[in-house]
Structure 1
Amino acid sequence: MVLLNDISLSIPPGALVGVVGSSGAGKSTLMNALSGFRFAQHGHVFYNQLELYQHTSCLREQIGCVPQDSIVHYSLTVDHALYYTAKMRLPATYTKQQIHQRIDEVLAAVGLIERRNVLISKLSGGQRKRVSIALELLEKPAVFFLDEPTSGLDAGLDYTMMHLMRRLADSGQTVIIATHSITHIMLCDYICFLAPGGRLAYFGPPGEALTYFGKSEFAAIYTLLEPGEDPLQIPMDAESRFKVSDAYQRYISGPLNSDKEYIEQRSRSYVKKRTSQRCNAWKQFWLLAARYLELLKHDTGNILLLLLQAPVIAIILLVLIRYEIGTAVFHTDRIVECPVSARIFSPVGLPDIPALDSRAYSTDCQRVQYHLRVTLQGKAYAAKKGGIDNALQDFIVPGSGTDAQKILFIISFSAFLFGCVNAVREFVKERSIYQRERALYLNILPYMFSKIVILGFLCLFQVAILVLVIATVLPFTRSGIIFSQILEIYITLALTSLAGLMTAWRFLPWHLLSIGQ
């Protein structure tokens, strides 16, 4: 399926360009292709003769992009959201004073000075959109893309946003907006009209568009480009007509064929020099970890959900243990049962099986091991069976200790799920934010380990709650292999939970989030 059909554009610097057209005409697809957020399968995008798809990492910092949905952390204040972004995106040579000065400048530009200490979750839709714009303005991008910046806003905010775009263009930035709103379309220097099927129907000044289409208002152009009985005929005719028009020669063909003033090598060395000044991976890790801690601090519902997982599961296990299995499930004579009578071995003939009667007075396997090592009958029996371990198997009740196995499996599986669920929840919750930041400046490893370290401590805390709650019912002994039994169980479950955390991060579909795929 072709989403964009043979579109060529030439956009001069410092221009405000509006991309308009009916729903599904390909406006967002064109924006993504021009910004490098989604590579086109065919064709090229040049910035000063530097091909975007081949030099994405070099050109990325010169491009700002605000998607239709506000991709911001709602649990941060406006000021803190801008601060963390500035620390990671602005050159490392910026001092703290310069960073705060730049934040003040962009807040003044978008009119949010008085709302800087308010949580983003408490802002209106228009204010959140302006926060997204402010985040992109921090780095003073040369080219600025905005997808539906006035979507869902009232007439007053629509007016404010469009005039803000006009001021940005007047300051020297190239601004490209995809919009359905035509109320203030005359503020644009150029408009790009897309017909259904991703076909270019017009590109040029908005005033000339009305003359070109022979209409008195822009709404009538939408109706003119709507498909008829043949869904392809009208868009194809509109595209063919424009490509032979004077407007196409004046605003597209002519500029594309003119000589360029910029040299690729100069542009490449310039952007590489600026890119090398970004903060390193270690600094990104600390900034991302600090931001994540602040997000948890303000997100009360999320932190309560994380902390309540362990006690809820522990209480369910307590009910299962107390009323279905019994609290003595981990006693040594319950884990492995070896019922024996007063006569452990027959004194006559040393039969192949132990002589037991119904009057068993012990189920302790250690008692059997003692007789196999010490008594004459036991030594002879062990020798006949090929060793103490083989002889001991004759005394063990088949299926003994299954209750303890069930409890240990449930506890271990719960600890494993703590790690998996914690990682997957964060990935799903921050998927769009990760994808956006990854396209601009984010390294995968600092992001991943900033989550792993904090979630790892959370896993250790959750396992501690699980073990302590269960220890109130199950009497763990003081003796263990190295440490006390409860400490050894905690260490084992903590490692299991961390394994679950790492397993989830290992198998998350990072390849699906790679930019340009």
Structure 2
Amino acid sequence: MRVILAENKDGANERQIEFQTPVVRMGRDSSTCQLTFDTSEYPMVSRRHAQISYKDGIFLLSDLGSAFGTFLNGKRLSSATPIKAGDVIQLGQNGPVIKIILLEVGSEFQEQVRAQGLSKGAYGNRSDLVEKFMPNAGFAKAFLMFRGESNRNFPITKEEFWIGRDSSCDLVIEASSVMVSRRHAKILTSEDKFLLVDNNSFNGTYLNGKRIVAVAELTHGDAIQLGFNGPLLEFCLSSAVQQNFRQDTPQFVKVSNSSVESAASPKTIVFHGGLISQEVKSKSQMAEPTLLMTLRLDEKNELRIGRDAANHIMLDSLQISKFHARLVWDGVKILLEDLDSTNGVFVNGRRVSKHVVTAEDIMQIGAFIIKVDAARNVKVYDTRARTRIDVIQLTKDVKNDRDGGSLRLLDNISLSIMPNEFVGLLGPSGAGKSTFMDALNGMRPASRGHVLINNLDLYQNLSVLKQSIGYVPQEDIIHRELTVYRTLYYVAKLRLPSDVSDSEIEQIINEVLDVTGLAERRDVLISQLSGGQRKRVSIAVELITKPSIIFLDEPTSGLDPATEEKIMLLFRQIAESGRTVILTTHAMENVKLFDKIVLLMRGKLVFYGKPQEALDFVGAKSFKELYDKLEEPAQLISGAGSKSLMMDKVADGWKERFLQTPQYRKNVQEPLSRIGKLQLTRIKQNRNLGIFGAVRQWFYLSIRYFEVLSSDKLNLAILFLQAPIIALMTFLVVDNNQTRDFIYFVLSLVSIWFGTSVAAREIIREKPIYKRERMFNLGLFPYVMSKIFVLSFIVGLQCLLLFLPLKLLDILGLMKMPGVFLGLPQLWLMFLTALVGIALGLFISALVKTSEMATSLVPLILIPQILFSGLVGVPSGLNKVIGLLMPAAWSFDAIKSFSGLDTLEPEGAKPDGETQGKGYYKWIEAENDKLIEKAREDFERYKIKAEESIKDYQLRLRDNLARGLTPPPPPKLDAPPKIENPKKIDENLSRFIVFLHPWMSEILSQIVLMLMFIILLIATIFCLWVQDLI
């Protein structure tokens, strides 16, 4: 047998090795293995790891008892498994990746086939390769052949004849031909009719040069193309060419540079992509939208528009809902109605729900344009693969912070980019490349000028055109905590209509993975990918929505030369698939791959044309000396002046020189001269998602965010361990005889700290992802609420883990923490306080520019909570007013209120409590005053009684003396009254709190905390909205 394998790195084949042995073994042992790997580089590969063999007409892959397993297309083998060309083998987790290029049977099997009277192609894992020819296959009424290769015919003998890269198809294109989808299209046979149906393929199916959006009937000689610039087939009726074929198994086609083998050969049929030709159209013709269909609105008639086949106008794009809109003629007027679609209906750039249509209106649904004339003829146009960009006098000025004047970043740039061109934005540092790109894609619009996409002003029609634009910024726009598949899945759920099924999402993800060379990395965490692979994932994210234009900002920055070349070749391939690709780059090694380059200097357009023309223009021999040649005239300029002024003069010189070139007339002047009069009406952009759309976004944003956070198990463990550790430290610190204020202060302060600290970086750390999703269709309210929803679970659990240990200590009598209703109101207040903390943290995250700044601001937010919460004593004066602004102060006071404890101070004392509304200190003072008063009264009574006794004695004494009698005995005074001991302040104050704020109460505190949460939520959304305007 003959086997060709290729080692695959970063999605590209590094080397190809051919084997012509009965068995191909793979491992580290060079004595027994045909394909060997170095131990130091691949320690996960066993000595004899796996083998490829051939048995009973089937190629098999077997694991040879390896330590780390053998994986086929991402799944670990448990037994010998059939394989085919295009399959991917991996030896161990993160081990070498091997792609099967060719599986071929030798002459020995040919004799076996001939002996059985077979005439079949051998391929992969087909179990029926040795079955006998089916006698009832019948006469094929039609067949396919590759245009220009009449010696290869593929009879259509089934009611459903599938074409694609999947081995189950009837006509199989080799797996490496990523222009073709796995199950790309099918031909249906109905009596004497043959119908062509596109299977929602990634690059579309073209019939006679026009992309089909509905079932199309085939006639003799029709040209079927699988994707833009893809394989070109010709449909033939047997009656027309008088050829007779029989077929009972699929034919297999392989894209290669080798020669063509006949279908009767036991070898895999080879399709040489270079032999395909197609009618070459001019760029101006390509820029015109394709007329798909024309229908008529009759009286009382209705035309439904959508992705479903039941519609009158079926549009095959996942950007379009199944039942998207409808046109209704009521006998007087034509009404366009949006049927609650996800991505909306636009008329003259404005999103509408209902609109009375006139002959001048341009309706747009996704990439399709609909026009209705005065005779009620409805024409549908397809702009996919027909997207042209015109830039007219684009100028951008910003404020110069140095002198308060203005600084010009873009200076009156005009040019035209034709459909499906691969254009590079080049220039020295500070030339304005990124600024120009952001002006082209609407991220940061220019101050003056226009960007037209198919004659629609981008800035005025951003809501409708943004669905046709893909943008990959320099920073990764992906969550590294997710796998490749999950990343693309959530992008599909967030950007595609809600009625797109999971099977359709699975199909588009598989297609995108194939196009970007990531199929074998489907279930790998993005954090484990190389830099080049991560960039491919960012590109795959944008390809999910099949944009017509893709902008990339420095996509090869930081990549090694080999990876950079592979990425550039990928962009070249994407452009050839029917998309316009524009990127900025500093690297000059692969400039030759561009169709055209835009050369900028000091914000001025100094050249626009083919790469080789740019070299001739500046007089450079290579692209590496291009920039040196641009700046060379600066050395010849004499006179005083800053370097900046000199470079401005040089740029002006190159600009004036370019205006005199043929390239300027061909690429700028002539294309722009064909543009009609511009409509300069400013249209209000509408981002309204509707209630259902907002809820759907919130749902999937929440699930994705939860998956991102839950992937970091260590961080979650640290977060959840914080609470019980703080509870333990609180127990160790608090004296059982102290008031309970500190415990309740810990509950309130730590709750707000939990919320603030966990949320303070959650927006800023994913700012590139947020900006890109916001540019597409992300709603601010669903986005912020998804953060709050997920974080509230984490912080709520933290609060519970703090409260429960402290409450358990209270129940066990080890530390008192009283609370009414088992402390449940206190737990609720902790959660409410934590929500305010989350909102405060998100506001910080929306406000700052870096994660480090957010982290630095958290202590500055929490310290005032400590100082002004009321822990240090009863607030007074300005302190009392400032405390009203602190969430911790309201929370602290409410938690104390729900303790049921009386106070030491009069503020907040309970009238029916122990202190009778006076506060413990005042109550002690009052009780002692009572004792003093009672003692005073007792002594007064004692004094009066004693004085009366003495007075009576004196009277009797005088009387006896006057009468000469014996003096009476002296009176016996009662014992003096006893003075009760004064009340002392109890050493155990654990049944008290210090005070309750006189301006606060349990109900009011909760209301205020809720208002604080709402205000901070609105402030966060407002802050993000303002950033949209900057």
Indicate the TM-score class for this superposition, using the shorter chain for normalisation.
Answer: 0.7 to 0.9
Change (3 A) 1:298 1:479: closer
Change (3 A) 1:300 1:478: closer
Residue 83 of structure 1, aligned match among 489, 493, 499? 489
Residue 776 of structure 2, aligned match among 432, 440, 451? 440
Q: In the alignment, does 2:420 pair up with 1:420?
A: no
Q: In the alignment, does 2:441 pair up with 1:35?
A: yes
Q: In the alignment, does 2:465 pair up with 1:56?
A: no
Residue 100 of structure 1, aligned match among 506, 511, 517? 506
User: Runs of 5+ in structure 2 lacking a partner?
Assistant: 1-406, 636-642, 843-1015
SS at match of 1:177: strand
Residue aligning to 1:393 = none
Residue aligning to 1:499 = 836
SS at match of 1:9: strand
Residue aligning to 2:648 = 232
Q: Does the 8 Å contact 1:202/1:209 carry over to 2?
A: yes
What is the distance in 2 between the residues matched to 1:85 and 1:96? 13
CA displacement 1:226-247 (0-9 Å, x = unmatched): 3555232212211222123332
Residue 146 of structure 1, aligned match among 547, 552, 558? 552
Residue aligning to 2:575 = 169
Shift of 1:318: 3.0
Shift of 1:128: 0.1
What is the distance in 2 between the residues matched to 1:162 and 1:68? 15
SS at match of 2:695: helix
What is the distance in 1 between the residues matched to 2:506 and 2:611? 39
CA displacement 1:364-404 (0-9 Å, x = unmatched): xxxxxxxxxxxxxxxxxxxxxxxxxxxxxxxxxxxxxxxx3
Residue aligning to 2:1008 = none
Change (3 A) 1:279 1:154: farther
What is the distance in 2 between the residues matched to 1:313 and 1:243? 72
What is the distance in 2 between the residues matched to 1:237 and 1:253? 19
Q: Does the 8 Å contact 1:439/1:515 carry over to 2?
A: no
Residue aligning to 2:612 = 207
CA displacement 1:411-455 (0-9 Å, x = unmatched): 311111212222223123222221221111211111122221221
Mean Cα deviation higher: 240-249 or 460-469: 240-249
Q: Does the 8 Å contact 1:93/1:277 carry over to 2?
A: no
Shift of 1:305: 3.6
CA displacement 1:207-264 (0-9 Å, x = unmatched): 2112212222122220022355523221221122212333222211221111469999
Q: Does the 8 Å contact 2:471/2:772 carry over to 1?
A: no
Change (3 A) 1:259 1:71: closer
What is the distance in 2 between the residues matched to 1:138 and 1:52? 22
Mean Cα deviation higher: 107-116 or 436-445: 436-445
SS at match of 1:2: strand
Q: Does the 8 Å contact 1:92/1:279 carry over to 2?
A: no
Q: In the alignment, does 2:129 pair up with 1:129?
A: no
Q: Does the 8 Å contact 1:37/1:516 carry over to 2?
A: no
Q: In the alignment, does 2:740 pair up with 1:328?
A: no
Letter of the 1:25 partner, please give it.
Answer: A
Which of structures 1 and 2 has the larger relative contact order (alpha carbons within 8 angstroms, sep 6+)? 1
CA displacement 1:63-103 (0-9 Å, x = unmatched): 00011111210000000100110111123332211111111
SS at match of 1:8: strand
SS at match of 2:761: helix
What is the distance in 2 between the residues matched to 1:480 and 1:410? 15
Letter of the 2:471 partner, please give it.
Answer: C
Change (3 A) 1:26 1:264: closer
Trace 1:274-353 onto structure 2 (pairs within 5 A).
280-321=693-734, 326-329=735-738, 335=739
Shift of 1:302: 3.1
SS at match of 2:550: strand
Letter of the 1:317 partner, please give it.
Answer: T
SS at match of 1:295: helix
Q: In the alignment, does 2:519 pair up with 1:116?
A: no
Letter of the 2:736 partner, please give it.
Answer: T
Q: Does the 8 Å contact 1:15/1:189 carry over to 2?
A: yes
Aligned CA RMSD, in angstroms, stands at: 2.8
Shift of 1:135: 0.4
Residue aligning to 1:459 = 795
SS at match of 2:471: strand
Shift of 1:29: 1.1
Shift of 1:294: 1.3
What is the distance in 2 between the residues matched to 1:307 and 1:469? 13
Change (3 A) 1:186 1:492: same
What is the distance in 1 between the residues matched to 2:1027 and 2:777? 13
> How many residues are paired up?
432
Residue aligning to 1:7 = 413
Shift of 1:276: 8.4
Residue 627 of structure 2, aligned match among 206, 222, 226? 222
Q: In the alignment, does 2:1023 pair up with 1:510?
A: yes
Shift of 1:303: 1.8
What is the distance in 2 between the residues matched to 1:72 and 1:60? 19
Letter of the 1:469 partner, please give it.
Answer: P
Shift of 1:501: 2.1
Change (3 A) 1:263 1:279: farther
User: Runs of 5+ in structure 1 lacking a partner?
Assistant: 330-334, 336-403
Letter of the 1:215 partner, please give it.
Answer: A
Residue aligning to 1:358 = none
Q: Does the 8 Å contact 1:48/1:262 carry over to 2?
A: no
What is the distance in 2 between the residues matched to 1:139 and 1:198? 32
Change (3 A) 1:513 1:16: farther
Residue aligning to 2:658 = 242
Q: Which structure features the higher share of helix residues?
A: 1
SS at match of 1:64: strand
Highest CA radius of gyration, 1 or 2? Answer: 2
Q: Does the 8 Å contact 2:807/2:817 carry over to 1?
A: no
Q: In the alignment, does 2:760 pair up with 1:430?
A: no
SS at match of 1:4: strand
Shift of 1:514: 3.7
Shift of 1:170: 1.3
Shift of 1:312: 3.8
Residue aligning to 2:786 = 450
Tell me the TM-score normalized by structure 2: 0.40
Tell me the TM-score normalized by structure 1: 0.77
Q: In the alignment, does 2:603 pair up with 1:198?
A: yes
CA displacement 1:440-497 (0-9 Å, x = unmatched): 121111112222122112222111111123335555779754x12x323222212221
Q: Does the 8 Å contact 2:754/2:837 carry over to 1?
A: yes
Change (3 A) 1:478 1:201: closer
Change (3 A) 1:278 1:131: farther
Q: Does the 8 Å contact 1:38/1:515 carry over to 2?
A: no
Shift of 1:500: 2.1
What is the distance in 2 between the residues matched to 1:516 and 1:52? 16
Residue aligning to 2:429 = 23
Shift of 1:168: 1.3
Residue aligning to 1:183 = 589
Letter of the 1:515 partner, please give it.
Answer: D
Mean Cα deviation higher: 281-290 or 110-119: 281-290
What is the distance in 1 between the residues matched to 2:818 and 2:802? 20
Change (3 A) 1:284 1:408: same
